[in-house]
Amino acid sequence: MTDIVTFGETMLRLSPPDYERIESTATLELRAAGAESNVAIAAHRLGAAATWFSKLPDSPLGRRVVAGLRQYGIDTEIAWSDEGRQGVYYLEYGTEPRGTNVIYDRADAAVTTTRPADVPLDAVRDARLFYTSGITPALSPTLESTVGEVLADAQDAGTTTAFDVNYRSKLWSPAEAQASLTNLFPMVDVLVTAERDARDVLDRSGGVDEIARGLAADWDFETVIVTRGADGVLALHDDEVIAQSAFDTETVDPIGTGDAFVGAFLAQRLAGKDVPTALEYGAATAALKRTIPGDMAVLTLDEVERVIESEGRGISR
């Protein structure tokens, strides 16, 4: 039995080296990159058996995505397509005041045509947990419908469902996102949201604990996790509020930090750890990810535990 199945788009990421501009660089580094595959890899690195599913073009670019993920040990279930293209994004790093910029080139990607018949539903039903994020339904009306059907099917089969709001302003407006996501929430057991998304997209106000309690009350989530960047994370589970501070880190590449947290948290919960412990492992994994180039948390459980032990951070309840 697979512990966790994740579903979403993985793109090819192209980045100039050393803070160069895209319009003047002679070199672009190529990596596979996607929220749901990042979560699968982080979960796998912390001990969970993980499978990532998507729909890809049967082309060298689509096959490059799979090769870029399998090297990290996860299983892949792919619906290969003769139609649609491979999504790409360009990441141009910049320090202040220029800042970092992302340019998406993902229109008409094969994944946007994914229907329930393309999904390995037996694998989802047999998994202990199914995960996707708000990026996936934002990509097309077809995917929005498919995500809802797969979440419902998973829940009916007794598979725990986890969902990260993961709002992207370049994909849809806050109003569009809220309308779609709240339709999906009844099929979600574990909700993850950044505090800014809870406020700006889900129209929540008040303190972070009030936000978590309000979401849990409205949608009957088993667990609500509100991430707060450098201020750490707060979770509500069994009517108990648990706060976990962030670990100190030096940032090499922040992309994928939230995915690393989610993957580690879910892996620890699947391993039978309580929510406070899972939050601690998630926070340590997120800190380590920021020291690693690329989207993926290429690390070990021993490294995560050394961070926890060396920091000696307690859990504030």
Q: Which amino acid is at 227?
A: T
Q: Are 42 and 14 in contact (CB under 8 A)?
A: no
Which residue is catalytic, options 164, 197, 259, 295?
259
Helices (H) and strands (E) counted in the chain, each on its own, are: 11, 14
What crossing angle do the helices spanning 35-45 and 60-70 adopt, rounded to 10°?
A: 30
Q: Would residue 259 show up in a list of annotated catalytic residues for this protein?
A: yes
The CA-atom distances, in angstroms, between 123 and each of 7, 9, 127 are 11, 18, 6
How many CB atoms lie under 10 A from the CB of residue 205? Answer: 9
Rounded CA separation 106/94 (Å):
22
All residues at 6 or more sequence positions from 247 whose CB lies less than 8 Å from its CB, including other chains: 283, 284, 286, 287, 307, 311, 313
- The residues that are catalytic are 259
